[in-house]
A = this chain, B = another copy of it.
Amino acid sequence: MSKPERAAISPTREQDYPEWYQQVVRAAELAENSPVRGCMVIKPWGYALWENMQRELDDMFKATGHKNAYFPLFIPISYLEKEAAHVDGFAKECAVVTHHRLELGENGKLVPAGELDEPLIVRPTSETIIGETFSKWVQSYRDLPLLINQWANVVRWELRTRLFLRTTEFLWQEGHTAHATKEEAIEETLLMLDVYADFAENWMAVPVIKGEKTEGERFPGAVNTYCIEAMMQDRKALQAGTTHFLGQNFSTASNIDFLDEKGERALAWTTSWGVSTRLVGGLVMTHADDDGMVIPPKIAPTHLVILPILRKDSDADAILNYCQEIKKELESKTYHGRRIWVEIDERDIRGGEKMWSWIKKGIPTWIEVGPRDMEAGAVFFGRRDFGPKGRKGLSRQEFIDGFIDTLDDIQGGLLKKAKDFRETHTRIIDSKEAFYEFFTPTNADQSEIHGGFAMAHYSGEPELEALIQSELKVTVRCIPQCENPESGTCIFTGKPSQQRVVFAKSY
C-alpha cells in the first residue's frame, strides 16, 4: 500500500502539461468528451463540485440583492443584429436552429423539415434577449435597479475544445442588471468583480488579480470589461470571471428606458457578468499535482472518505459500525455553514487501489479503519495535501475534535501554496529584452514550462499588443486595480505609462 515508484498521473506536469491536465480530469472522473462534437459529459464527481460552487456563488449573489430568473435558450437572429459589436463577437461561432421537425427522407434517413421563417441561434450569452425583456420590466425609476441572475447552458461553436476550459456547450451564470445612473452601474460592475475574487480566493483557494481588460480583450458590446486572472501551474493565466459595464449600448439596442424622478425619459445603464464551468478547469490547474486532483475542502463534494479494512468476515459488522459512528458524529457538524459529507467506501477492491482512487479524485482527507484501529479506538488518518507518506495514527476523539481545524488548515495551505507559486513566477520587468527572454523557452523543442506574469509598463497601443501577441503569444491580461499606481515608461515605446500591467500567456 506504499506509494508507487512513479506518480499516479502519467505524464507528469513537467513531462507534458496539457496531457497531464486531460489525464487528471479523466482519473478524477470529473468529465469526459461526449459523442457530440465539443460537448462534454460532466460526471457525478465533477458535477457535485460544480454544484457546490454554484450554491456558494448563488448565496453571494442573493446576499448582494440579486434574484434568479430564466430566459429562453433561443435568440432570434434579428435580436443579435441589434448591437453591432455583439454580432461581430458571436455570429462567427453559434449553433443555428433552422427547422422544427424531422421527417423520413428518400434515403430512409431522417432529414430536417418545417423550415423556420426566422432562424434562431442557441444563446451564446443573453444580453439581447434579456434586454428585450428588461425593456418591458423597466418603466419607472422605481423599477431600478433591476438585479437579475440566470443559471444556464450556453453554446459557442469553438473549433478547438478542451474539457472545462473551452467547450461548445458550457454551464454558467450570467448576471444582468439595469440602473438609473452610470455611477451605479459601474459600482455594480466592480462589486461583482469583488464577489468573484472573494469566491475564487476564499472558496476555491485560487488567488486572483482583479483588473480591467484592454480594448482588444473587451466583451463584444461592453464599454469596460473587468476580470479576475489566476496563474495556472504552467504559469499561464486563466481568466476566471468577467464583469462588464455595458454603458447604454444594450439599453439603446433594446430600448430599456424609464421615467426618471423628474418625469423625463432616460435610458438605463446596464451591466453583465459571468463565471462558468471553466472555473473547474482552473481549479484543476491550480491545485492538482502529479498524483491527481486536489479539491479545497470548502467546495469538496465529500470531505472525508472512510476506508474500512475488512480482512476477516467476523470483524466486518463491528468495523462498519465503528465507521458509521464516526460518519454520524462528523456529519452532525457544519463546515462554514455547509453540511459535512462523509462517505464510507465499502467497494470490494484492493485497499491500495481504493486509497489511490480517492487520492486521484482529490478527496481532502481519508481514514483507514482496520480491526486494530477499532480495538484501540483509533483511526489511520491521511490528508491529500500531505500524501500517503504523511499518514498517521490518531485517537478517534483527537481526530474528530480536530477535524474542522484540519479542513481549515488544508484550505489555508492550498491558498498559500498557490499564492507562493504565483509570487515566485511574477516578475517586475523593465526592459523589452528581459520581457522577450522571460517569455521564451530555452530548450530545443520549446516544450519547457516557462514565463509567468510579467509586470511591465506599457503605453497602451492596440497595435503594439497585437505585435507582442503574434511574436510571443503573450497578451495584457489586465490593468490591475491598485491603490497607488506607480507611473513609469513603456518598455516597448519609451512613452509614459500610468501603471504596470500584467502580461502573460493565457488560456
Interface of A with B (CB < 8 Å)?
A: 32, 34-36, 39-44, 47-48, 51, 67-77, 79-81, 87, 91-103, 109-112, 114, 119-122, 129, 132-133, 142, 148, 152-153, 155, 157, 169, 171, 347-348
Q: Among B41, B67, B99, B100, which residue has its beta carbon within 8 angstroms of that of A71?
A: B41
Q: How far is the CB of A475 from chain B (nearest CB, A)?
A: 24
Chain B contacts of A93 at CB under 8 A?
100-101
Expressed in whole angstroms, the Cα–Cα distance for A35 and B78 within the complex equals 11
Expressed in whole angstroms, the Cα–Cα distance for A42 and B79 within the complex equals 19
Query: A101 and B91 in contact (CB under 8 A), knowing A44-B69, A51-B68, A133-B34?
Result: yes
Chain B contacts of A39 at CB under 8 A?
72-74
A94 touches B98 (CB 8 A): no
Query: A69 and B91 in contact (CB under 8 A), knowing A74-B36, A120-B36?
Result: no
Chain B contacts of A77 at CB under 8 A?
102, 109-110
Q: Among B35, B96, B109, B111, which residue has its beta carbon within 8 angstroms of that of A102?
A: B96
A41 touches B96 (CB 8 A): no
Identify 14 new A-B residue pairs, CB closer than 8 A, beyond the known A34-B133, A80-B110, A81-B109.
Answer: A35-B132, A36-B76, A39-B73, A44-B68, A87-B102, A93-B101, A94-B100, A95-B97, A95-B99, A96-B112, A97-B97, A97-B98, A98-B99, A122-B122
A41 touches B94 (CB 8 A): no
Expressed in whole angstroms, the Cα–Cα distance for A412 and B459 within the complex equals 69
Q: Among B73, B96, B142, B148, which residue has its beta carbon within 8 angstroms of that of A155?
A: B73
Q: How far is the CB of A174 from chain B (nearest CB, A)?
A: 14
Q: Among B43, B96, B120, B121, which residue has its beta carbon within 8 angstroms of that of A69?
A: B43
Chain B contacts of A73 at CB under 8 A?
39, 122, 153, 155, 169
Q: How far is the CB of A255 from chain B (nearest CB, A)?
A: 13
Query: A44 and B67 in contact (CB under 8 A), knowing A34-B133, A96-B102, A102-B77?
Result: yes
28 interchain pairs (CB within 8 A)? Answer: A35-B79, A35-B132, A36-B72, A36-B129, A39-B73, A40-B72, A42-B69, A44-B67, A44-B69, A44-B148, A47-B69, A48-B67, A48-B68, A51-B68, A70-B171, A74-B169, A80-B110, A81-B109, A91-B110, A92-B101, A92-B102, A94-B100, A95-B97, A95-B100, A96-B97, A96-B98, A99-B119, A153-B153
